[in-house]
């Protein structure tokens, strides 16, 4: 097992620098010290919201503003809940990996029962946010719990846990679209369009790409611990695999734009989105874990590019 922590386990974050000592383990349990995961969970939701506004022809009102804020809070909370569930299930694996051995559960700072209570509390707050949306969005929100709960077990049964993460992390594209399609809490309405489904599928391939890059950090420890990943499965062809995933992500984003009849500015933005992917693949060095983390984090910018492309597509040139 390697002894030097990779930068993802570094202590130069706002929690280590500023949070009260008693709160640090809880904030780290929910990964509030590492906001990139929240961004990657949030951005598909925002994309779905904006896409629904364009397809329904509605303007930006108080309800839409609430959806933007509510999704941001909900993404932070549910990402925290998902990370805690993952840590409860993976506590024995995490203890064997240099990057994760210092996490609150494997290091003994928080017990599995305390972590379970943390998850329940977060989910209750998230439920209050969800109940402000229409019935379709509420149903989709409950269905997402199955994806979150099953994810920690995927690395034990498949070489492609990153694909399941893609199903989970991009669920917000469907939820956001459904939530913005009808402005009425718990109304017996709401829908998901084919364009939103294409956006969701594109997000799945996007996640396959960036989480395969992320998994390169742990590949040696994963071999020793017996943990499966797409990075291990692809082996020497990992760079080509990431390229294929990103091509499919860009193509499905194009399908979403075509089905939604988005304007010319969308296609300009889509080219920038694809160019960002090409840059990641060009820079990728599978043996360099530090660079892998930087490229992984750059996917916040990729998601923001696609969000801007959708939003600007409503402008007339």
Q: Where in the chain are the domains?
A: 7-312
Tens digit of each residue's pLDDT (9 = 90 or more) over 65-121: 999 999 999 999 999 999 999 889 888 777 777 677 788 898 889 999 999 999 999
**91-95, 121-125, 215-219, 313-317: which range is least confident on average?**
313-317
Instruction: Please determine, for residue 41, whether its predicted confidence score (pLDDT) is greater than 80.
Output: yes
pTM, 2 dp: 0.90
pLDDT category at 190 given cuts 50, 70, 90 is confident
* Residue burial 232-268, b: 16+ Cβ < 10 Å; e: rest: bbbeeebeebbbebbbbbbbbbbbbbebbebbebbee
Give the CATH number of domain 7-312: 1.10.357.140
- Predicted confidence at residue 175, as pLDDT, reads 96
Q: pLDDT tier at 156 (50, 70, 90 boundaries)?
A: confident
pLDDT of residue 2: 40
* Residue 166 confidence class, pLDDT cut points 50, 70, 90: very high
Q: What is the pLDDT of residues 273-298, one digit of tens each?
A: 999 999 999 999 999 989 999 999 99
Mean residue pLDDT of the chain comes to: 90
Read off the pLDDT band of 182 (50, 70, 90).
confident
């Amino acid at each position: 097992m390697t002894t030097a922590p990779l930068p993802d386990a570094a202590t130069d974050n706002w929690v280590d620098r500023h949070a009260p000592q008693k709160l640090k383990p809880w904030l780290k349990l929910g990964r509030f010290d590492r906001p990139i995961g929240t961004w990657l969970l949030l951005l598909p939701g925002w994309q779905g919201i904006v896409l629904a506004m364009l397809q329904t022809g509605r303007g930006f009102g108080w309800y839409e503003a609430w959806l933007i804020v509510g999704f941001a809070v909900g993404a932070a909370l549910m990402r925290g809940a998902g990370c805690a569930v993952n840590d409860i299930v993976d506590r024995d694996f995490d203890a064997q990996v240099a990057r994760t051995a210092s996490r609150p559960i494997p290091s003994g700072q928080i017990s599995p029962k305390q972590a379970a209570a943390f998850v329940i509390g977060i989910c209750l707050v998230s439920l209050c946010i969800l109940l402000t949306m229409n019935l379709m969005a509420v149903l989709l929100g409950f269905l997402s719990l199955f994806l979150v709960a099953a994810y920690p077990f995927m690395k034990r049964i498949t070489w492609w846990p990153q694909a399941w993460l893609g199903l989970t992390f991009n669920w917000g594209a469907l939820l956001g679209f459904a939530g913005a399609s009808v402005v009425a809490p718990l109304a017996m309405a709401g829908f998901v369009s084919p364009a939103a489904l294409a956006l969701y599928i594109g997000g799945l391939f996007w996640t396959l790409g960036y989480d395969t890059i992320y998994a390169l950090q742990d590949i040696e420890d994963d071999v020793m611990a017996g943990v499966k990943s797409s990075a291990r499965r692809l082996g020497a062809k990992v760079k080509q695999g990431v390229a294929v995933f990103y091509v499919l992500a860009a193509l499905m984003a194009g399908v979403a734009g075509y089905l939604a009849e988005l304007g010319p500015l969308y296609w300009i933005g889509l080219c920038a989105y694809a160019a960002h992917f090409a840059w990641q693949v060009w820079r990728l060095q599978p043996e360099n874990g530090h660079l892998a983390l930087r490229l992984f984090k750059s996917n916040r910018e990729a998601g923001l590019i696609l969000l801007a492309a959708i939003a600007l597509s409503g402008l007339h040139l």
